[in-house]
Structure 1
Amino acid sequence: MTVHPPLGRIICAGLGPGDPDLITRKAERAIRSARHIAYFRKAGRQGQARRIAEDLLPEGCTEHAMEYPVTTELPFDSPDYIRSLSGFYDEWAARLTALARTGEDVVVLCEGDPFFYGSFMHLYVRLKDQLTVEVIPGLPGIVGCWNVTGTPMTWGDDVLTVLPGTLPDADLRRHMAGAEALAIMKTGRNLPRIRRALTETGRLQDAWLVERGTMPGQRILRLAETDHADCPYFAIVLVHGHGRRPMAEEDLG
């Protein structure tokens, strides 16, 4: 009788917003004990996730760089983009499955929280019915960004609205007009459209641009005072809430 090794696990470690000190203890333990580490990156780049976790990677671990076939070369909703990314996730799901079937665990690194606009979600839906998949939560990038502004993001009954900057202009305006506290992700080359929608809804003067929040090279700018036509991938636009809050004693008397 042939004895097969027990299946390995896929463990996705959420790394938080970028500062390695914000990685959870559970994610750190998983990374330090890993024999196989996988992470997403652009072709020819180190990869942001690997940079965050670099000091935790155990000596001798095998690295699996999952290089995106496209990033911004094609519109995200074009058939070619969808076909290319779908094939990419299919291929890597198969490769990770084959590795796990040899009995090896694989730790996949993911910036922020894996289930919050994370690339790992696309692998998760392909793997979860085939293997044991464990997801270690991480601090979302927006949390790191609003903390570095030094201003509370929501007060009292404020409703927080999170928008991807890839939405059509009309949808951006519609959501912004009714928002109290607002976080806009996926900025990059969408920044001029985001700025225009904020201007048209009267929100521009309250908007902040946080580039590389909690990371080296962090910048915090009032969006109205910048002339950027573009910004890094790791950038978020924030409009803080101004809702109900207890009054200070000096304001009561």
Structure 2
Amino acid sequence: MATGTLHVVGVGPGSPDLLTVRAARLIESASVVAYFCREGRKGHARTIAETYITEGTHELRLVYPFTTEIAVEDPDYQRGIQAFYDRSAQQLADMLKQGQDVVVLCEGEPFLYGSAMYLFDRLKEQFATSVVPGIAAMNGCWSQVQLPMTHGDDVLCVIPATLPEADLTRWLQQADAAVIMKIGRNMSKVRNALVQSGRMSDARYVERGTQPDSFSCPFDECGETAPYFSLVLVPGRKGVR
């Protein structure tokens, strides 16, 4: 029996009409659609793609064992999340071995901090694969707030807010333009790094970019907490040619 194909599909930053034509077609024709979610939640990628999932499609929920309850640097987190990805990959492998094609939904761009790439890494040597790029969250956010990010020879740096504060500060000092992702409970650390690097006055905060409840403001005007789907934009400073 021929094995199925694993399709890793980026669904974009949040608005359903920002999916690519290829992504929409694959989702509409899929017999199996898999997506990550929290316990008791629909899943953000599933919500974005809802318009394109047809009746009768088999949906496979990949439920995270935890999200923010355990710190990323905790060894228990590393062991737990690796075991979760192993189990999830095995579920997909069982379907692929039966000849079923599987579409795995991923918010934003799959290979930019996307959970789906960990399944891809585990399965790419065993099965045929395809990857459909999606509009990354940062693209959606800087377009929504109409903030040009890089000019001329500006260097853009993508920085996870989970880094130590000293590292955040160093990268902000070195980069011409920066996007700080994974804000969540790291707001205080990000605020300190922006002040210490001298970039606070340039920083723009965006949460739930391109979604109906999106919000944006200068970073020095935002509160002390942030949802998972939030980021900070720091535009380049070399000037327009």
Indicate the TM-score class for this superposition, using the shorter chain for normalisation.
over 0.9
Q: Offset of 1:243 from its aligned partner? A: 2.1
Match of 2:228 among 218, 230, 233: 233
Aligned to 1:83: 79
Provide the rounded CA distance (Å) in 2 between the counterparts of 1:209 and 1:188: 12
State the 4+ residue runs in structure 1 displaced beyond 6 angstroms: none
Match of 2:95 among 92, 95, 99: 99
Aligned to 2:173: 177
SS of the counterpart of 2:157? Answer: strand
Q: Offset of 1:245 from its aligned partner? A: 2.2
Provide the rounded CA distance (Å) in 2 between the counterparts of 1:8 and 1:129: 13
Provide the rounded CA distance (Å) in 1 between the counterparts of 2:133 and 2:232: 23
SS of the counterpart of 1:182? Answer: strand
Deviation string 1:15-37 (CA, Å, 9 cap, x unpaired) is 11111111011111100000111
- What is the TM-score of this pair, normalised by structure 1? 0.93
Aligned to 2:113: 117
Instruction: Report whether the alignment pairs 1:48 with 2:44.
Output: yes
Match of 1:17 among 13, 31, 38: 13
Deviation string 1:106-133 (CA, Å, 9 cap, x unpaired) is 1000011111110011111100011112
Residues 24-173 of structure 1 mapped to structure 2, 5 A cutoff: 24-173=20-169
* Alignment check: 8 A CA contact 1:8 1:103 kept: yes
Provide the rounded CA distance (Å) in 2 between the counterparts of 1:78 and 1:225: 32
- What is the TM-score of this pair, normalised by structure 2? 0.98
* Alignment check: 8 A CA contact 1:213 1:235 kept: yes
SS of the counterpart of 2:41? Answer: coil
1:237 partner amino acid: V
Aligned to 1:251: none
Identical amino acids, percent of aligned pairs = 47
1:235 partner amino acid: S
Provide the rounded CA distance (Å) in 1 between the counterparts of 2:165 and 2:148: 28
Deviation string 1:208-243 (CA, Å, 9 cap, x unpaired) is 1100000121001111012x2221111010111132
In structure 1, the gaps of 5 or more residues are 247-253
How many equivalent pairs are there?
A: 241
* Alignment check: 8 A CA contact 2:145 2:216 kept: yes
Q: Offset of 1:244 from its aligned partner? A: 3.7
